[in-house]
Amino acid sequence: MAMAMTHHHNRESSVDKHLDTGKYVRYTAEQVEALERVYAECPKPSSLRRQQLIRECPILSNIEPKQIKVWFQNRRCREKQRKEASRLQTVNRKLTAMNKLLMEENDRLQKQVSQLVCENGYMRQQLHTVNASATDASCDSAVTTPQHSLRNANNPAGLLSIAEETLAEFLSKATGTAVNWVQMPGMKPGPDSVGIFAISQSCSGVAARACGLVSLEPTKIAEILKDRPSWFRDCRKLEVFTMFPAGNGGTIELVYTQMFAPTTLAPARDFWTLRYTTTLENGSLVVCERSLSGSGAGPSVASAAQFVRAEVLPSGYLIRPCEGGGSIIHIVDQLNLEAWSVPEVLRPLYESSKVIAQKMTIPYVKALRYVRQISQETSGEVVYSLGRQPAVLRTFSQRLSRGFNEAINGFNEDGWSIMNCDGTEDVIIAINSSKSLSNSSNLSTGLSFLGGVLCAKASMLLQDVPPAVLVRFLREHRLEWADFNVDAYSAASLKAGTYAYPGMRPTSFTGSQIIMPLGQTVEHEELLEVIRLEGQSLTQEDAFLSRDIHLLQICSGIDDNAVGACSELVFAPIDEMFPDDAALLPSGFRIILLESKPDSSATNRTLDLTSSLEVGPATSQAAGDSPCQNARSVLTIAFQFPFDTNLQDNVLTMARQYVRSVISSVQRIAMAISPCGSSPTIGPKPSPGSPEALTLAHWICQSYSFHLGEELLKSESLGGDSVLKNLWQHQDAILCCSLKSVPVFIFANQAGLDMLETTLVALQDITLDKIFDESGRKALCSDFTKLMQQGFTHLLAGVCMSTMGRHVSYEQAVAWKVLAADANTVHCLAFSFINWSFV
């Protein structure tokens, strides 16, 4: 058998052990060749086609079927062994390269420690020999990075001198000690990590450094990374104005780059740089870059009028080939983003090393992951839904992101113009009459009949709201903030001649939102999905027409542990046929963290809002123990609406009102999910007169047992926090309402929310009488006296109504008084609707 485990080529004989006799059976070279042909065509053992091929091959007729089966089994074993050996060799190469990378990083850190010790000794000596002012000057001279002298950039010789100087400075940052790097918090290097990340300390501007291992050759990596708009979503445009050989096998390029602004509160940035590509003596490939001069250089002033010129200090990529394939990449980016030009509240995004570290790491992570994803797509490791090619789905993601960035920035060059913006409006309205929504030359997919596109956008500050938690909630609970008729209007506008203004086809949202995943990046930091919103017509003549709406959506930054401080939810209506060249009009939300994240335990809260529902007095937690750390975020909202020329004013009014409504909804959601229970910048705290959700859950169950003599939940579900969880997941619809003159609901479990077709945030706007029809209200009134005297009552089978106007039948309902901890005070009334269903 051991001999049989050795693979032989087609022209060689093979040996296997006989099943019955234990003797070795030798196959001729012709038999092995025939068996290999059969295996190549039908590798599956249960294939009928394989049996047919064996019967049709005369040379195999004198071999027992059992022995043929053994040969195929051994063949599969040999193939699995080869694959496993190849995989282990690949892992070994990666570990070897990572070990080499870590050893180099260790050497660099040792050099940095030695340098810091020398500087420390020098500074101590200066303190004893000079006065304070001289000491300050000497310290500055000791730790400040020397300024780079500008050569004449008007001739090739001057540019080559600048390029060589840039190369030397970049290499000293990438592998040397020119910058005092410290490891990025939370980033642990290892064979499964993307790479090693570090941030600057005590250097000019802001800087970050990344290094990692990628399974591609250096030239391919350089080609991808130089095409910055393909992997860096914040890059609007990159133009190479001049390119000429450097004389040493390298090339020099003059590059103009424009970057999108992340919010509506600050202008965008642009850069005028020299980019130098060359190969070092050790075979490493280098692409380094730096700004040439100030704001007066570069393209015409008109093309850069809406941008603030920022500065790139020597930065770039060092790509070194590894033995056995793959490459090690070192990336350095050092910028001066001119923070003086933005409002003070946003300056942490541009100058704070603590915040800018996470924000600036995103491009490096995305670059490395982008290259890694292309590598895995090429090898077939990444599988996508609906039979779509990875490149097509990646294009959809890029188009959604770019369209959203264009809407936020509204550049005149793209045809946008601001309407009635005097600084007092909370919602900015921009019009684009030249925007084309078609992604192909096919006129049938274009929207030439439209008058243009209108964008309503706004930015606001949020206090103590984790961006990942808020975006997750907006994604999973669209009914909480979206208007189905507005979505229907945008979707219908993609179909010429359907209708041009909401209201012409009255439609209601059934409350059903189905998320169909299409794909995700390798590290799962971005999701691409199709959302189907189920609608129904409210008019008799359209009753049999489908009113479902489909949205193409990307969602990123929803992992609490994700690198970076930006979370996004961007979507666009799309035809249900989902063509590759579909017209897209993106809208959505972007939340950027301005300061440090709150304690992680505060972000790991359930999205059903029960854990943060404040319907009672605060706990005895001291103020100093609060998980909140005054973390602030900036939320940017942008919604785009196509319009016909004769309905521009109507659409403008609708858009402004809708965005204000969305802002109001998001504020209420933020208040509910804030780890502090409310956001000081949003509104007052809820009334402190009733218990928290966990306490309320205990009261509901204890009161049910007290009045009815039986348990609402199973006995094993009554311990600790499990009461709230099991009450939330209970199959019956459980609702609680206040004892005011007009009772309003204050709590519902998941089944109760589903029955009412609402959410916890909107629940407190629903009164008890609204869910019953006239007969139901009469039945409730007749049993109300019994309820108050006896403490509980049983309601007969009946019908109630959801907030969407749908009838809900139930076999039985139980109502009981919920008693507070003292067992004397009636806190609220609870209802349990058993075996309910929509009629």
Q: What is the pTM of this model?
A: 0.63
What does the H/E/C string look like for 206-271?
EEEEEEEEECCCHHHHHHHHHCHHHCCCCEEEEEEEEEEECCCCCEEEEEEEEECCCCCCCCEEEE
511 CB contacts (<8 Å, ≥6 apart)? 479, 754, 757, 802, 804
790 CB contacts (<8 Å, ≥6 apart)? 707
pLDDT of 392 above 60: yes
According to DSSP, the residues that pair with 200 across neighbouring strands are 181
Q: Which token pair is 516?
A: 């169909």
Q: Which token pair is 617?
A: 């007095």
pLDDT band with cut points at 50, 70 and 90 for residue 168: very high
Phi, psi of 60 (to 5 degrees): -100, 5
Tell me how far apart the alpha carbons of residues 276 and 222 are, in angstroms, rounded to a whole number. 12
Spacing of C-alpha 431 from chain mean position: 29
525 CB contacts (<8 Å, ≥6 apart)? 365, 369, 556, 557, 559, 562, 563, 564
Using only C-alpha atoms, the chain has a radius of gyration, in whole angstroms, of 33
Q: What is the residue-wise DSSP string for 574-642?
A: --TT--TT-----EEEEEEE-SPPPPHHHH---TTSGGG-B-S---S--GGG-S----EEEEEEEEEEE
pLDDT in tens, 173-193: 888 777 777 776 655 544 444
Contact between 479 and 513 under an 8 Å Cβ cutoff? The reply is yes
Contact between 505 and 492 under an 8 Å Cβ cutoff? The reply is yes
Q: Identify the helix (H) or strand (E) that includes residue 536.
A: strand 526-537
Going through 378-525 in order, the beta strands assigned E by DSSP cover 416-419, 428-432, 452-463, 507-520
Q: Identify the helix (H) or strand (E) that includes residue 197.
A: strand 195-201
| Cβ neighbourhood burial of 326 (10 Å; 0-12, 13-18, 19+) | buried
Q: Identify the helix (H) or strand (E) that includes residue 33.
A: helix 29-41
Q: What is the residue-wise DSSP string for 768-784?
A: GGGGB-HHHHHHHHHHH
| Cβ neighbourhood burial of 245 (10 Å; 0-12, 13-18, 19+) | exposed
| Cβ neighbourhood burial of 433 (10 Å; 0-12, 13-18, 19+) | middle
Instruction: Give 3-state DSSP helix, strand, coil % of the chain, rounded to 5.
Output: 40, 25, 35
Q: Which token pair is 761?
A: 């945030």
Q: Nearest-CA neighbor of 268 among 309, 300, 207, 311?
A: 309
Name the least confident of 319-328, 363-372, 501-510: 501-510
Q: Which range is most confident: 16-25, 88-97, 327-336?
A: 327-336
HSE at residue 60, side-chain half, CA atoms within 13 A, is 22
pLDDT in tens, 676-733: 644 333 333 333 333 467 888 889 998 999 888 888 887 655 666 678 888 888 999 9
Residue located via tokens 């025939």: 34
pLDDT of 393 above 70: yes
Phi, psi of 756 (to 5 degrees): -85, -10
Higher model confidence: residue 724 or residue 135?
Answer: 724
Q: Which token pair is 372?
A: 């890694």
Q: Which token pair is 794?
A: 């049983």
Phi, psi of 263 (to 5 degrees): -135, 175
Higher model confidence: residue 521 or residue 491?
Answer: 491
pLDDT of 627 above 60: no
Pairing relationship of beta strands 632-643 and 733-737 according to DSSP bridges: unpaired
Contact between 112 and 143 under an 8 Å Cβ cutoff? The reply is no
Predicted pLDDT at 229 = 87
pLDDT band with cut points at 50, 70 and 90 for residue 119: low
If you count them, how many residues does the chain have? Answer: 839
Contact between 14 and 7 under an 8 Å Cβ cutoff? The reply is no
Distance between first and last Cα of the chain: 69
Average pLDDT for residues 507-533, to the nearest whole number?
Answer: 70
Predicted pLDDT at 685 = 34
Predicted pLDDT at 376 = 67
Task: Indicate if the alpha-carbon torsion angle 276, 281, 285, 288 is positive or negative.
Answer: negative
pLDDT band with cut points at 50, 70 and 90 for residue 15: low
Contact between 269 and 409 under an 8 Å Cβ cutoff? The reply is no
Average pLDDT for residues 791-805, to the nearest whole number?
Answer: 86
**Helical H segments across 635-749, by residue range:** 648-673, 693-708, 722-728
636 CB contacts (<8 Å, ≥6 apart)? 262, 263, 264, 408, 457, 458, 459, 589, 590, 591, 592
| Coil, strand or helix at 439 | coil
Angle at Cα 336 formed by Cα 334 and Cα 340, nearest 5°? Answer: 155
State the average pLDDT for the chain: 75
269 residue type, one letter: R
Q: Nearest-CA neighbor of 463 among 589, 351, 588, 595?
A: 595
pLDDT of 561 above 70: no
Cα dihedral 369, 370, 371, 376, rounded to 10, equals 80
Q: Identify the helix (H) or strand (E) that includes residue 120.
A: helix 65-129
Tell me how far apart the alpha carbons of residues 760 and 426 are, in angstroms, rounded to a whole number. 27
Angle at Cα 518 formed by Cα 512 and Cα 521, nearest 5°? Answer: 125
Name the least confident of 29-43, 267-281, 784-798, 810-824: 29-43
Count helices and strands (H / E) in the chain: 18, 29
Q: Identify the helix (H) or strand (E) that includes residue 333.
A: strand 327-336
Tell me how far apart the alpha carbons of residues 761 and 746 are, in angstroms, rounded to a whole number. 10
What percent of the chain clears pLDDT 90, i.e. is strictly above it? 19
Predicted pLDDT at 495 = 63
Q: What is the residue-wise DSSP string for 337-388?
A: --GGGS-GGGTHHHH-HHHHHHHHHHHHHHHHHHHHHHHHHHHT----GGG-
Tell me how far apart the alpha carbons of residues 647 and 501 are, in angstroms, rounded to a whole number. 8
Cα dihedral 222, 223, 228, 229, rounded to 10, equals -160
560 CB contacts (<8 Å, ≥6 apart)? 466, 468, 469, 600, 603, 604
Q: Which range is most confident: 139-143, 510-514, 547-551, 699-703?
A: 699-703
Pairing relationship of beta strands 311-321 and 327-336 according to DSSP bridges: antiparallel
Q: Nearest-CA neighbor of 159 among 82, 253, 90?
A: 253
| Cβ neighbourhood burial of 663 (10 Å; 0-12, 13-18, 19+) | middle
734 residue type, one letter: I
562 residue type, one letter: A
Q: Nearest-CA neighbor of 485 among 500, 502, 501, 499?
A: 502
pLDDT in tens, 442-459: 444 444 446 789 999 999
pLDDT band with cut points at 50, 70 and 90 for residue 569: very high
